[in-house]
Structure 1
Amino acid sequence: MDAPVFLNTLPTLDRHGAVRVVVEASAGSRSKFKYDPASGCLVLHHVVPPGSCFPLDFGFIPSTLGAGGDPLDALVFADEPLPVGTVLPCRLLGVLQAEQVQGPGPPRRNDRFLLVPTASLAYAPWRDLGDIPPAVLEGLETFFVSYNAQRGVRFRPLGRRDAAAAQALLAAGP
């Protein structure tokens, strides 16, 4: 019998080369779940205040590790909100580069990779950062500044990079 595969240990890429994403918060939801590797479950991490919700499906890219010790964050432009725990193959569009500070420590990188499901109909033509309207990118940055401030974390956008740069960051690993 094969050993169980936990969500955080799935290969980053599927057999077709698509980037896997595990959804931790559905678009339009106020609830943010976090994967607990010890139990293999997604547990409720926090709830954003009324009047605020996740603008896109938010999750992580398995078998990666960011500067904060967690898997790399992913924002998915999906045709409709996806259930928490969904694993979906995606293509990279770009990355919102950012740093955050929590407590007295130094800033650490906490980028947000931008992706589209390979099965998308609405976003099928999107291939790169330039396909995303600038106002949408500004709104995402504003959301994460506010979302983190509510939790006592300072989030500072550093820049936006295209699909090739996002792929290079993903390939570079921690």
Structure 2
Amino acid sequence: MHRKLKDTPLGTPEQFNVVVEIPRGSVDKIEYDENKDEMHVDFVFKDGFTFQYNYGFIPHTRTDDGDTLDAILLGTKPMASGTVVLCRPIGVMRQIDRGQVDDKIIAVPVGDKETQKYQSVEDISQEEIKQFILFYAEVARQKQKTIEITGFEDKDKAIEAIRKAMI
């Protein structure tokens, strides 16, 4: 029997599932449509711009804007759209998208040797933080919208954000 992606269990705020929407290296901004239970291309980036991270959503969550809580997965291996990955939070990127709060949980796959060094947002280098900021500045430019990163907070704040969004 086929289980819908939206029915993927959440897990706990300390270890949760992420459904990958956008693989690392993709030029396509892919979104999951809950009603159709399918992924669709929402936008195609130009000028050789690609997603630097695997990106997805945490099932059984809702944020103030009505969307599921988003997650950025650190690591270098691309993961296919629809892949379900057990993750742990290391922090939260606070973001305002077109005037609305649109925070992103920064997470790493559980048991991934490559990302074990990341235990908290403090383990992300200043260069990596700069890359997050430049990445979202380019997303905003290409999609012709306003995105403001207002800060990065620790693992405890990420867990708190997940708890708040759980439905």
TM-score (ref. length: structure 1): 0.88
Q: Percent identity?
A: 25
Aligned partner (choices 120, 141, 150) of residue 149 of structure 1: 141
Partner residue in 1 for 2:7:
9
Structure 2 regions of 5+ residues with no counterpart? none
For the residues of structure 1 that align with 2:141 and 2:58, how far apart are their CA atoms?
Answer: 24
Q: Per-residue deviation at 1:7?
A: 1.6
CA-based RMSD:
1.9
SS of the equivalent of 2:89 reads strand
Which of 31, 34, 57 is residue 31 of structure 2 equivalent to? 34
Aligned residues: 166
> What SS does structure 1 have at the residue aligned with 2:139?
helix
> Cα deviations across residues 75-126 of structure 1 (Å, max 9, x unaligned)?
101341111110000000001101011xxxxx11011110000031111232
TM-score, normalised by the number of residues in structure 2? 0.91
Match of 1:99 among 96, 101, 110: 96
Is contact 2:14-2:159 (8 Å) kept?
A: no
1:22 paired residue among 13, 19, 26: 19
Matched position secondary structure for 2:114? coil
Counterpart CA distance in 2 for 1:19 and 1:138 is 27
Question: Residue 11 of structure 1: CA displacement?
Answer: 2.5
- Rounded Cα–Cα distance in structure 1 between residues aligned with 2:76 and 2:145: 30
Q: Partner letter of residue 131 of structure 1?
A: D
1:104 aligned partner: none
Distance 2:113 2:10 in 1: 23
1:5-154 equivalences under 5 Å are: 5-13=3-11, 18-101=15-98, 107-154=99-146
**Inter-partner Cα distance in structure 1 for 2:145 and 2:4:** 29
Structure 1 Cα separation of the partners of residues 34 and 140 of structure 2:
23
Long gaps (5+) in structure 1: 102-106
What do residues 1-59 of structure 1 show as CA deviations (whole Å, max 9, x unaligned)?
Answer: x8x64222322216x95211111111111112111111111111111113211011011
SS of 1:153 mapped into structure 2: coil
What is the match of residue 159 of structure 1?
151
Distance 1:68 1:48 in 2: 24
Distance 1:146 1:67, change over 3 A: farther
